[in-house]
Structure 1
Amino acid sequence: MAENASETTPGSQSDTPPAADVTERLGYRLKRTAAALRSAMDRALREYGLTVPQYACLELLDQRPGLSNAELARGTFVTRQSMNVVLRGLQDAGLITRPATTDHGRALPAHLSEEGHRRLAAARSAVYAIDQRMSDAVPEQRLAELLADLDRMAAALDG
């Protein structure tokens, strides 16, 4: 064990010299990109009366109708409590339907309403255009490699 603050344990984080400029670190660049994406999506979705978590929820329900609150929370990277708020808002807006009770377990399956399908279709083109703008910034021959690299980084941290 280190006897004073200036000593380090081999392999510890403090063995790595601090970046001369934190903005050159990979994590910072990923966070900056995620923040830019979120900001662009927020602006685009505002026109459709949706938030990013609401839009993500609608996309998941379009692909996999009947998902529960917990499944939607995992799929949209929010807590179950946050997803409860998202689902309540979507239900109040008439974009999803959920039964008052269920015959099995406690999970209430959610489904897109007709209006939910319409709103999602309208918003989807705006969101896909943002994704395309981001993809267009990477040379086409490198995009598949970048996506694979991002998947490997996520897997390394999911450990």
Structure 2
Amino acid sequence: MGQDGVGVDLETSLGYLLKEASSALRVAMEEVLRPLGMTVTHYSCLELLAQRPGLSNSELARGAFVTRQSMNVLLQTLEREGYVTRPAEAPVGKVLPTQLTPRGRRSLAKASVAVRAVEVRMLSGLTETEQAGAFRIMQSMIHSLRDG
């Protein structure tokens, strides 16, 4: 409870701390991606397509934590700028499979280096053992919330 007996004490709330860490990570990522002409969502979309080519608009939206409408607008922009390709017509009963172009792969490679540097900076105050422990703890929290 907060000092007034209502709500959560933000100084001791792990949920609030996680949100603050997430926000700080996003700001740091946006700072290194901006000079590359990217946003975090743009980067996330390219990364998802590199790992799983042909994902649908809905799958990309879920993976990048945005709405389907936002992802559709982003995909149209990425296609227009030559980062991805989508066929004009989908196979019967299928979604339009989106794939990275060579330009998209080159852009992603630069962005990945920048994002990795942010992650290294974020973890710089932790030992390898602490990093492994943090990773396990985060996975456990996610698992508990999704399956609980």
Q: Normalization by structure 1: what TM-score?
A: 0.83
Q: Which runs of 5+ in 1 are unaligned?
A: 1-12
TM-align CA RMSD: 1.8
Please say if 1:24 is aligned against 2:12: yes
CA distance in 2, matches of 1:44, 1:154: 27
Alignment partner of 1:56 is 2:27:
no
What pairs with 1:36-75 in structure 2 (closer than 5 Å)? 36-75=24-63
Residue 84 of structure 1 deviates from its aligned partner by: 0.8
Match for residue 134 of structure 2? 146
Report the CA distance between 1:137 and its aligned residue: 2.3
What CA distance in whole angstroms lies between the structure 2 residues aligned with 1:56 and 1:29? Answer: 23
Amino acid at match of 1:139: T
Please say which of residues 112-121 and 73-82 is displaced more in the overlay.
Answer: 73-82
Q: Number of matched residues?
A: 144
Per the alignment, residue 77 of structure 2 pairs with 89
Residue 145 of structure 2 corresponds to: 157
Measured against aligned partners, the alpha-carbon deviations of 1:77-131 in whole angstroms (never above 9, x if no partner) come to 2221221122112112210000111122251110001110111111111100001
Question: Match for residue 129 of structure 1?
Answer: 117
For residues 69 and 106 of structure 1, the distance between their equivalents in structure 2, rounded to whole angstroms, comes to 12
Q: Could you say which structure has the larger radius of gyration? A: 1
Alignment counterpart, residue 64 of structure 2, candidates 76, 88, 104: 76
CA distance 1:20–1:63, change in 2 (3 Å): closer
Structure number with higher helix proportion: 2
Aligned-pair identity in percent equals 47
Contact 1:19 1:25 in 2 (8 A): no
Sort the Cα spacing of 1:20 and 1:50 in 2 relative to 1 into closer, same or farther, 3 A: closer
Following superposition, the deviation at residue 18 of structure 1 comes to 5.3
State the alpha-carbon separation in 2 of the partners of residues 23 and 111 from structure 1: 44
Give the secondary-structure state (helix, strand or coil) at the position aligned to 1:47.
helix
